[in-house]
């Protein structure tokens, strides 16, 4: 079996150089401010096309993380409508740079809302979006009204979107910190998620500064948080998908995290 591809979330200006600095064959980037509704931007001096060619030549796979503020599940029109627009814009730009996928958080509904509305809004968002690259729905850590924190909700999202045109372009991104802090047993999470989605396309391998089921989303470097080190490695091994570290620090810290993980993956 070939070794798992492991990389990190990096600055988007020169992601290929960032990949080289980490000895990584994949990197994840934001296309602009993750907290803003402004559309995506490509900072690479040569633009999207140059970045695409550079990545291909270097053999580096690019993944894009959509802005955190995207919430296609919400019943609030003033958030859902711009979220859908921003999602399409990010899919389009991700396609231009040749990205393998666009990671999007599951989002949430408001406290007073019926969660069914959120599941159906996900279905509508998939229907309405031209998925030029796969969209990878990521599990999140906190909140009681989240669409993708607990397994039962993830199952309902999947059930809802399974009837949507474009469903074959939807995948899953499993974040280990979010799973742990969200209260999902890491001992079984790969099997549990796969039983629902049939797939894990990407792993966000992060240790957690907080305890199990805390609902907090604070990543830390591998082996330095509250997740059992062997369990963290086992999740990555069992998921058997490309890995992105979203851990603190730069090239030095990420290189150390990659080495930590490789050592335990065997």
Interacting residues with Zn ion (CB under 5 A):
175, 204, 246
CA distance 236 to 252: 21
If the CB atoms of residues 44 and 105 are measured against Zn ion, the closer one turns out to be 105
If the CB atoms of residues 246 and 257 are measured against Zn ion, the closer one turns out to be 246
If the CB atoms of residues 79 and 243 are measured against Zn ion, the closer one turns out to be 243
Question: What is the number of the residue whose Cβ is closest to Zn ion?
Answer: 204
If the CB atoms of residues 153 and 204 are measured against Zn ion, the closer one turns out to be 204
Would you put residue 251 in left (φ > 0), alpha (ψ -120 to 50) or beta? alpha
We find the least distance from the C-beta atom of residue 253 to Zn ion, in angstroms, to be 16
The dihedral sign for the CA sequence 250, 148, 25, 265: positive
Q: Give Cα separations from 196 to 45, 120, 155, 192 (angstroms).
A: 41, 17, 6, 7
If the CB atoms of residues 48 and 177 are measured against Zn ion, the closer one turns out to be 177
CA distance 26 to 9: 9
We find the least distance from the C-beta atom of residue 217 to Zn ion, in angstroms, to be 8
Query: Under 8 Å CB-to-CB from 50, ≥6 apart: which residues?
Result: 44
If the CB atoms of residues 55 and 103 are measured against Zn ion, the closer one turns out to be 103
- Determine how many CB atoms are found less than 10 A away from the CB of residue 153: 20
Cβ atoms of residues 87 and 125 within 8 Å: yes
């Amino acid at each position: 079996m070939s070794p798992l591809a492991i990389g990190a979330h990096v600055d988007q200006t020169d992601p290929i150089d960032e990949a080289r600095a980490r000895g990584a064959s994949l990197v994840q980037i934001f296309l602009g401010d993750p907290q803003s509704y402004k559309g995506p931007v490509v900072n690479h001096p040569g633009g999207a096309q140059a970045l695409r060619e550079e990545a291909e030549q270097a053999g580096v796979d690019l993944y894009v993380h959509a802005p955190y503020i995207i919430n296609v599940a919400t019943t609030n029109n003033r958030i859902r409508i711009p979220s859908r627009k921003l999602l399409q814009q990010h899919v389009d730009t991700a396609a231009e740079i040749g990205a393998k996928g666009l990671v999007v958080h599951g989002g949430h509904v408001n406290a007073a809302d019926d969660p069914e509305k959120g599941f159906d809004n996900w279905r509508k968002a998939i229907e309405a979006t031209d998925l030029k690259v796969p969209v990878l729905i990521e599990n999140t850590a906190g909140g009681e009204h989240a669409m993708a924190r607990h397994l039962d909700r993830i199952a309902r999202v999947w059930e809802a979107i399974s009837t949507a045109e474009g469903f074959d372009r939807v995948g899953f991104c499993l974040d280990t910190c979010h799973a742990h802090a969200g209260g999902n047993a890491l001992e079984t999470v790969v099997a549990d998620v796969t039983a629902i989605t049939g797939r894990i396309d990407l792993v966000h391998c992060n240790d957690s500064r907080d305890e199990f089921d805390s609902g907090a989303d604070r990543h830390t470097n591998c082996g330095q948080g509250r997740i059992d080190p062997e369990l963290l490695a086992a999740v990555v091994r069992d998921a058997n998908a490309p890995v992105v570290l979203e851990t603190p620090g730069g090239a030095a810290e990420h290189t150390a995290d990659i080495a930590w993980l490789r050592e335990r993956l065997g």
